[in-house]
Amino acid sequence: MSESFKPADPARRGALKTLAGAAAGAASLPLWARYAGAQSAEPIRIGFQMHATGIGAAYGRWYDRTTRAATSLINEAGGINGRPVEIVTEDDGTDPKRGAEVVEKFANQHNCDVGYGTLFSHVVMGSAPRAGELKMPYFVVSEGHHVASGALNRWTVQPGICDVKSQVLAMAPFVSQTLGKKVTMIFPDYAFGHDHRDFFSEAMAANGGEVIAKLAIPPTETSFTKYFPKIPRETEVIYHVMVGPAVLTFVKEMGEFFGPSRPEIFGFIDSLEAVDLSSPGLEFLEGTYFWEGMPRYAQPDQTPYDAHYRAAVGVDETGASVNDPKDVSTYAHMFGCWETLYVIKAGMEAAGYQGPADRQKLIEAVEAMTDMPHSNEHPQGAKRFNGKTHQVFGPQYISKLEGGRLDVIHTASLEETFYPDEVDYTARSF
């Protein structure tokens, strides 16, 4: 076990347990009494950077629902340090330039305590430097390796969702040993896709496989038929990870191109997030495999934590809205919002956070975290946070599409997702 994963200070763990118990007790109080002991009646303001428009809109909609569900439960349980939590939302258009402008608004117009919620990696890369300049804690709910690589700053943390590097390290052994050695990759042509390209290529080589072709697709592409003829004939496995509003078109066109004589297919569920698996044209995906961050379909061994989370967010056992079976969630990713909000809460309570003057203490409190037990606060699975790299690690799931639903066939362990530290943010100045 690396130096990065030393157990947390027992005193801090005890404090966090005590705070959790106090929060549970607060839930039994009437609303007016829950915030009576707070030093300030002012709410904790969390600036939610939402992809309300642009290619991330489907994610933004469900990130918003998840954020509001978690915030409601946190407030019902007494808020944070006896203060209610208020979500301040701004649309960043899934655009890096607007992302930086939104961060500025959070700090200078809305008087937010922290910024939170960004998913698309190019928006994170455009926004995080401004958060660092403003000395505002910036909690991203992305998957790119940008945080753990050391490319950002000490104010930026990713404590609620795993990064691409850990995901693909855990997937490569299964792909190589079960599906085939010669892989063609299809990925979006920006930072997130480049992480997949680079880290999966390395991981396949380490597992005796080879990526024989890499097809980079512009993120605004709407038709994909011109790319499929570039797939080499000797391809044994197609690895796809696409995002944006054209994902259904991508998968349908891939099916039309290959017909029944297809290679094995391993996809990241990003390619079908917010897409109904019963949509016409997806039949050819029967028997293919997917990475899932959190299984969309409730599994036979469903935990009470998953059941609690689904009910709170309003998602049924198939991963769709309880109000509309055609409104499919981004279940594999949106748990990161829920878990990150509970990390913010735990960090603020451990730091005794009262306001912007305590922002540095908040970051230091989060850096001191390590183990995050499987719980209502962390329904995706038990995790370990690396305070040096500002990145969390957790379980990864492989599901097979059979009978029109995704069933988990393999769960990668926490240890399979670890990799050597590339940065020590705690050695950097604020």
Q: Does the fold of domain 165-301 match that of domain 3-163+331-394?
A: yes
Return the pLDDT at 192. Answer: 85
Task: Name the residue ranges covered by the structural domains of the chain.
Answer: 3-163+331-394, 165-301
Report the phi/psi class of residue 380: left, alpha or beta, with left for phi > 0 and alpha for psi in -120 to 50: alpha
What percentage of the chain carries pLDDT values higher than 70?
91
**345 burial type by CB count under 10 A (0-12 exposed, 13-18 middle, 19+ buried):** buried
Alpha carbons within 13 A on the beta-carbon side of 416: 16
| pLDDT interval class at 190 (50, 70, 90) | confident
Check whether domain 3-163+331-394 has CATH 3.40.1800.10, yes or no: no
Class of 165-301 in CATH:
alpha beta
How far apart, in Å, do the first and last CA atoms of the chain sit?
28
- Both tokens of residue 424? 């020590």
Q: Is 235 in contact with 212 (CB distance < 8 Å)?
A: yes
> How many separate helices (H) and strands (E) can be counted in the chain?
11, 17
Q: Is 121 in contact with 190 (CB distance < 8 Å)?
A: yes
**314 burial type by CB count under 10 A (0-12 exposed, 13-18 middle, 19+ buried):** middle
**Segment among 88-92, 192-196, 376-380 with least mean pLDDT:** 192-196
- Give pTM, 2 decimals: 0.89
Return the pLDDT at 35. Answer: 54
pLDDT at 131 over 90: yes
- Helix, strand, coil % in the chain, rounded to nearest 5: 40, 20, 40
Nearest to 52 by CA among 92, 87, 97: 92
- Both tokens of residue 224? 């994909």
